Amino acid sequence: MDKSNIGHHISQQFNAELEEIRSLVLAMGGLVEEQIRNATNSLVDANVELAENVIARDVEVNKAEVNIDEECTHIIARRQPAATDLRLVIAVIKTITDLERIGDQAERVARMGIRLAEVERPKNNYMELQNMSDHVAKMVHGALDAFARMDVDSALKVSKRDNKVDKEYDGIMRQCLTFMMEDPRKITQMLDIMWAARAIERIGDHAKNICEYVIYLVKGKDVRHITIEQMESEIKS
């Protein structure tokens, strides 16, 4: 399925409304991607000003969610969409919820960045957090691209990357626990790192959720809460 399969209604206005909410989702996604990059950079570079900017801009993410949600509500009330059109509206509503939550997690990373800017930095300059953040940022971008192109194969590929993020997260947790046992004076710092890592890991989960909505939109199948293998089987069937 691609963009050409949406629309073609008698009402050109309805076509325009469906395209508009798709465009708004992608614009919101672009803002969220920027928030992820800036939040991570603020932590790695101890840039408090950049972190404060991320925190301040979370309001924009929230407003985008509210505005798109209202547009979807109006479409449902006016057009009473059915079949693929209804799935599109539902997928949009679910997607913007996850995008808003990604924005919240980016804000948390920025807040931890402010706290960590006040303490001595490790020799690797939080390289593990940077690497994991790079991976989840690619997942978010890939999920949005799959949404834009309604590409279930790409959505599945992005979903598979979540396992790698989970492994990176587990590694950071073990490392932080080791440091805490070796030097109790680092407990507060390690807890802040763990909270930042948890926020980044959650971004990967939300990106995977968006991929599941793409599959629902295109295939009409609910693939939440199942394994990747089961998801792949559902797509092929």
For 7-236, the fitting CATH number among 1.10.510.10, 1.10.340.30, 1.10.600.10, 1.20.58.220 is: 1.20.58.220
Residue pLDDT tens, the chain, 237 long: 444 455 455 468 888 999 999 999 999 999 999 999 999 999 999 999 999 999 999 999 999 999 999 999 999 999 999 888 999 999 999 999 999 999 999 999 999 999 999 998 887 879 999 999 999 999 999 999 999 999 999 999 999 999 999 999 999 999 999 999 999 999 999 999 999 999 999 999 999 999 999 999 999 999 998 898 888 888 887
Separation of alpha carbons 182 and 170, rounded Å: 19
* Helix/strand/coil (H/E/C) assignment for every residue in 130-176: HHHHHHHHHHHHHHHHHHHHCCHHHHHHHHHCHHHHHHHHHHHHHHH
pLDDT in the model for residue 1? 42
pLDDT value for 9: 54
3-state SS of 38-106 is HHHHHHHCCCHHHHHHHHHHHHHHHHHHHHHHHHHHHHHHHHCCCHHHHHHHHHHHHHHHHHHHHHHHH
pLDDT of residue 4: 43
- 8 A C-beta contact, residue 36 and residue 140: yes
| Contact assessment for residue 136 and residue 204, using Cβ atoms and an 8 Å cutoff | yes
pLDDT computed for residue 11 by the predictor: 66
> Which pLDDT score, from 0 to 100, does residue 2 have?
44
Q: Give SS3 for 201.
A: helix
